[in-house]
Amino acid sequence: MPLVGRSLSMFTLSIVMMCLAVIAVSLRCFVRWYLVRAFGWDDTLMVGALAIFIALSVGCINGAMDGVGHQIVDFGENIALYEAALRWWWLSQMLYIWASAVTKISIAVALLRLTVRKQHMIILYGLIGLTIANALYFFFILLLDCHPISYFWHRANPTAKGSCLSATILLNISYLYSALTIVVDFSLGILPIFLVWNLQMNRRTKFAVGGILSLGAIASVAVVIRLPFLHYYTDQDFLYSTYQIAIWSILETSFGIIAGSLVTLRPLFRWFLDGSIYGKKQRYDRSGSVRYPLASLKGDGSGAKLSNDPRYWRPDIDDTKVVTSVSSPREPGFPPSNSSEEHLYPGTSGARTQYHVSVHETITVEEVTHATSSTS
């Protein structure tokens, strides 16, 4: 079928959103695997969501080329092409359910990394369970909608035999699925505000951090916009009328993947600006400890003690004493750095301690009239 009108829009949108999602997740993997070396389950789940979304996008692209978005009259006598378009629509719908669900689970698991309060953990595990249950029941309803399953795309053929659920029942189930999806999305969007509320930072920073963490729930906007179009499930000109449902399903999943990945890219900006996520080139000793050279930190020349001046946090240091390095040994089994697993709640019992920072080498230099001595 010619790529015009609604078919062309679906074809173009699928390619664009697939490319953006691939870029976002690739950058996420670069940050989590290479920069902070803390690739976790949330990252693995997001890669899985991307793989399913790519399959979904391919299904939408092929569906658009076979006639999704066209009216029945456009197919004429070509029943086989109409069946192919229905088959792609059915397959894409199955893939959408799991691409959306795995994306939400990944976002929830990422928030679990920042959660230390039991009630917040219970809420997040509850949202994960609700997401899985919602996806399972809707998946099996659509899978068993017609008997046999192939009757879904063969029903345009007058010689085909089978039966399908009432369109009204399917519509009501779709409303329930969308309502539960909105509940999960908005919960994932609001919960980060409570997670950062007790952090030791000013209110403006709290709202900024909470807003960044809430980006993963932006997909709820697409779900809400899609609601008024669900009644087209009952329309006779199915492939033409359900165009908006397909469009907003693609946007919902891609928004979740992209926004959920953007949240993890803060170390990438440090890396671009400073050359490393620590602001200085890393140095390692023989034990594998990260060494941060501090002697090279200088003030602005005004004599004031700036926060990047060692004298700011070591008042005992004067012009004759220099701290040359600080060693941060790694405990066995812990990754080097994980920006999403910081001890953000001081005084909280049971929090994990990842790093031990100790002065590795302190050199005192004293100038004498005829000789120079040093101790370490």
What is the rounded average pLDDT of the residues 222-241? 86
pLDDT tens-place string over residues 338-364: 444 433 444 444 444 444 454 444 444
Contact at 8 Å (CB) between 101 and 134? yes
Amino acid letter at 46? M
Does residue 36 register a pLDDT over 60? yes
| Interstrand relation of 283-284 and 146-147 (parallel, antiparallel or unpaired) | unpaired
Does residue 287 register a pLDDT over 80? no
Per the prediction, the chain carries an average pLDDT of 75
Tokens of residue 285, six digits: 């000793």
Does residue 76 register a pLDDT over 50? yes
Amino acid letter at 240? Y
Name all domains of the chain by residue range, CATH numbers in brackets. 5-272 (1.20.1070), 285-337+352-376 (no CATH)
Amino acid letter at 274? D
Contact at 8 Å (CB) between 1 and 67? yes
Contact at 8 Å (CB) between 116 and 147? no
What percent of the chain has pLDDT above 90?
Answer: 29
| Of 341 and 29, the one with more pLDDT | 29
What percent of the chain has pLDDT above 70?
Answer: 66
Q: Is the peptide bond before 148 cis (omega within 30 degrees of 0)?
A: yes
CA-CA distance, 204 to 210, in Å (whole number)? 10
Alpha carbon distances (Å) from 118 to 29, 135, 210, 327: 29, 26, 19, 34
At 310, is the pLDDT very low, low, confident or very high (cuts 50, 70, 90)? very low
CA-CA distance, 39 to 25, in Å (whole number)? 12
| Of 243 and 132, the one with more pLDDT | 132
CA-CA distance, 174 to 158, in Å (whole number)? 28
Q: In the beta sheet, which residues pair with residue 146?
A: 164
CA-CA distance, 245 to 305, in Å (whole number)? 60
- pLDDT value of position 175: 92
Task: Supply the DSSP symbol for 355.
Answer: B
Q: Which range is least confidently modeled, 6-20, 203-217, 237-251, 349-363? A: 349-363
Phi then psi for residue 48, to 5 deg, are: -65, -40
Q: In the beta sheet, which residues pair with residue 291?
A: 283, 327
- pLDDT value of position 32: 87
pLDDT tens-place string over residues 94-105: 999 999 999 999
Does residue 293 register a pLDDT over 80? no
Amino acid letter at 234? T
Q: Which range is least confidently modeled, 216-220, 274-278, 360-364? A: 360-364
At 262, is the pLDDT very low, low, confident or very high (cuts 50, 70, 90)? confident
Q: What is the pTM of this model?
A: 0.71
What is the rounded average pLDDT of the residues 22-26? 94
Does residue 274 register a pLDDT over 60? yes
Alpha-helical regions (H) of the chain: 5-29, 41-66, 79-112, 118-143, 151-154, 167-195, 203-213, 219-226, 238-241, 243-262, 266-274, 310-313
- pLDDT value of position 216: 62
| Of 17 and 265, the one with more pLDDT | 17
- pLDDT value of position 217: 67
Concatenating the DSSP letter of every residue in 249-297 gives HHHHHHHHHHHHHHTT-HHHHHHHHHSSTTSS--EE-TT--EEEE-TT-
- pLDDT value of position 202: 63
Host H or E run for residue 360: strand 358-367
- pLDDT value of position 157: 82
Task: Supply the DSSP symbol for 123.
Answer: H
At 368, is the pLDDT very low, low, confident or very high (cuts 50, 70, 90)? very low
